[in-house]
Amino acid sequence: MAPDQAGTGRLPAAFLTPGSSSFAEFLGDHSPELLPGRRTPPATALTTEAPHGTTIVALTFPGGVVMAGDRRATMGNYIAQRDIEKVFHADDFSCVGIAGAAGLAIEMVRLFQVELEHYEKIEGITLSLEGKANRLAMMIRGNLGMAMQGLAVVPLFAGYDEEETDPAGQGRIYSYDVTGGRYEEHKFHSVGSGSLFARGALKKLWREDFSQDDAVLCAVQSIYDAADEDSATGGPDLARKLYPVVAVVTQDGYRRLSDDEVGQFIQVVIDARMQHPGGPPAPLR
């Protein structure tokens, strides 16, 4: 394999050839077997054999964006993993959450992370937030064959837009379809099997004047509602202290909340649900 040769001998010509600043394009030329989208799709659908990740939510607040994901991966009607992490650091000012075939999705996120860092190192500047969103769309487009065999990857991308001066527009969210279609979402969005229930909660709870803590609480509430209605979404596991992964991106950069911090929000949610199991009642008028 190429890296082995390179470690002992001279750098292969491909390394010294002037090319683009994209790591994925370099891989495509030099080691195409490492690209997630270049494999032969399985002959039959693998909907129940491969672990699938479920619910991711993201919502904006003035000055940033919050993303949260539950901790469950399912394989058909089994729970494949109860502590999977589906929200990742993409670079210093963006994060990506994944729903769909977990193995492919995590591989895609790794490639995406290297892609962003590679560009930054080669060019000395970071991609624009939209540039990052478009690169992710291209990777998903390459996965269409797999998606047709039940191995769809549906990410949610969110970040802090450093070029935006209005705090209300600084947190931005992008969603994708299996064909690589990229759509900018406003206020909030959710993907995965529990997304419909989560979105219902987000719709009722989201306010434009949220503080960061309000936004985190809202994200945790909506994941709770998704877990309440969808068997493939995991709720907070108090016995094992497994809570949703929550990431916040603001002008200070990406930060994942510690389990202790998320645990405090979970406690607030659970205490309130002892009185109102359906969550905070919304005013009718």
Partner 1 sequence: MTMPFGYVSPEQLMKDRADYARKGIARGRSVVVLAYDDGILFVAENLSRALHKISEIYDRIAFAAVGKYNEFENLRIAGVRLADLRGYSYDRRDVTGRQLANAYAQTLGTIFTQESKPYEVEIVVAEVGETAEQDQIYRLTYDGSVADEHGFVAMGGQADQITTALEERWRAGLTLTDALALAVELLGRDPVSGDQRSLTASQLEVAVLERARPRRKFRRLSANAMSRLLGQGEGNGEDDGDGEPAGQRPDERDISPPTSLAGGSHEPPGPAPNDTGS
Report the half-sphere exposure of 19 (CA within 13 A, side-chain side): 16
- Interface residues toward partner 1, by CB under 8 A: 1-3, 6-11, 15-16, 18, 23, 26-27, 30-31, 34, 82-83, 85, 88-89, 92, 106, 109-111, 113-114, 117-118, 120-122, 124-126, 240-242, 252-260
Beta bridge partners of 76: none
Q: How far is the CB of 275 from partner 1 (least distance, A)?
A: 27
CB closer to partner 1 out of 140 and 245: 245
Q: For the chain, how many residues are written? A: 285
User: Longest Cα pair distance anywhere in the chain, in angstroms?
Assistant: 73
Q: Where are the beta strands (DSSP E) in 102-243?
A: 153-160, 171-176, 182-185, 188-191
176 backbone dihedrals φ, ψ, rounded to 5°: -135, 155
Q: How far is the CB of 11 from partner 1 (least distance, A)?
A: 5
> Which one of the listed residues 8, 54, 55, 179 is annotated catalytic?
54
CB closer to partner 1 out of 203 and 240: 240
- d(CA 274, CA 259) in angstroms, rounded, equals 22
Contact 196, 202 (CB under 8 A): no
Active site residue 54: yes
Q: How far is the CB of 211 from partner 1 (least distance, A)?
A: 19
CB closer to partner 1 out of 113 and 134: 113
CB closer to partner 1 out of 69 and 194: 69
Contact 54, 227 (CB under 8 A): no
Q: How far is the CB of 108 from partner 1 (least distance, A)?
A: 12
Q: With the C-alpha atoms ordered 150, 190, 56, 173, is the resulting torsion angle positive or negative?
A: positive
Q: How far is the CB of 160 from partner 1 (least distance, A)?
A: 12
CB closer to partner 1 out of 51 and 150: 51
Q: With the C-alpha atoms ordered 235, 241, 244, 250, is the resulting torsion angle positive or negative?
A: positive
Query: Under 8 Å CB-to-CB from 116, ≥6 apart: which residues?
Result: 90, 91, 94, 126, 127, 132, 135
Catalytic machinery residues: 54
